Amino acid sequence: MPINELKLAKELIRKPSITPKDAGAINVLAKNLKSLGFKCQLINFKNIKNLYAKLGKSSPNFCYAGHTDVVPPGNISDWSVNPFKPTVKNNKLIGRGANDMKASIACFVAAVSRFKVKNRKFKGSISLLITGDEEGLAVNGTKKVVEYLRRKKEKINFCIVGEPTNPNKLGEMIKIGRRGSITGRLTVIGSQGHVAYPKRANNPTDTMIQILKKIKEIKLDKGTKNFQASNLEITKINIDNHADNVIPGSAHAVFNVRFNNKHSSNSLKKKLNVIFKSISKKAKCKFNINYQVSGEAFLSKPNKTTYMVQNTIRKITKIKPKLSTTGGTSDARFIRKIAPCLEFGLVGKTMHKVDESVPLSDLKKLSNIYLNILENYFK
């Protein structure tokens, strides 16, 4: 009996798996996969549950990757339904994770269940790499599972990451790469003093303002053939000062750079550190900078499977999907180290929002797309 995508999506949404809590979501998925004959491995790192499930043993291995963790729902009273009691209204499934990305996982599992009925002895294997740590720090999720699979010499020949890639309509966009992301936490240290006697102090806010103005004005690049221009955004400015007549001793700021493949995190660190050092030295201030790199820019060069997926989507949706690198980071940044991959899933308009939802028609269509991809891949 084939698995129904709507039923499974509802089962998954009922589990309030807010990062890092699993809340039973992985077990729900594993139970359904075992019913299809998958061998399920729970690969846990610290407090994170991960799943690698595989049907078959031979090559090639076609993998689907995704995450069962979701972001917090915010104020539940703002929702028209309980976010963890999935509800169908106006032909839409509403619930936290409906869009990003429990429904996509359900569509793939439903597609596999239908594929098995027609192709009992297909040559190859199908696997799912599912994590509970994508929306958080992504330290104990796909990154470590990839390292584990590499140690076990597990071969993945191609991977689809089921993130919601489409801006407005199902079929518009496939992601074949992502920009890199680096966050900088900057502290400028001056010396405290009375506001009436500024010459007896060294106000770090003056230096911080100069630095932030300078890094914001940098034109990193104009973009490339495959990537939009890199951009730097200042996200926080903080001066921990509880008195209005005191010049503070330190000032703090946080910024993030989304960068294309013209740069690396190391080249950006060097470029920014020169600015921090130069301006701080002139102002006779000190500075501290801590960087967190979420991922480097990457591009998965399209191959025959990429174009097969593109053509399959076009046949079903009547839209030719654009091959794109826009958006934030995803777990594809880890998977691409062991396998060629692309991203394709639902429409992302409501992800992370109140009343996150997916049209029922898109659920059926995505399940059909995934089924056709499997049939074409193992033809």
Question: How far apart, in whole angstroms, are the C-alpha atoms of residue 208 and residue 213?
Answer: 8
Question: How far apart, in whole angstroms, are the C-alpha atoms of residue 147 and residue 292?
Answer: 20
Catalytic residue among 134, 331, 356, 362: 134
For the record, the structure tokens of 203 come out as 């106000």
CA 160 to each of CA 14, 79, 224, 331: distance values in angstroms, whole numbers, following the listed order: 25, 31, 24, 11
Please state the separation of Cα 368 from the chain's center in Å.
Answer: 24
Is 78 an annotated catalytic residue? Answer: no
- The full length of the chain comes to 379
Question: How far apart, in whole angstroms, are the C-alpha atoms of residue 116 and residue 319?
Answer: 28
Is 343 an annotated catalytic residue? Answer: no
Catalytic residue among 69, 154, 343, 355: 69
b/e burial code for range 347-360 (CB count within 10 A of at least 16 → b): bbebbebbbbbbeb
Residue 285 identity (one-letter amino acid): C
DSSP bridge pairs for 202: 191
Question: How far apart, in whole angstroms, are the C-alpha atoms of residue 144 and residue 50?
Answer: 10
Q: Residues with catalytic annotation?
A: 69, 134
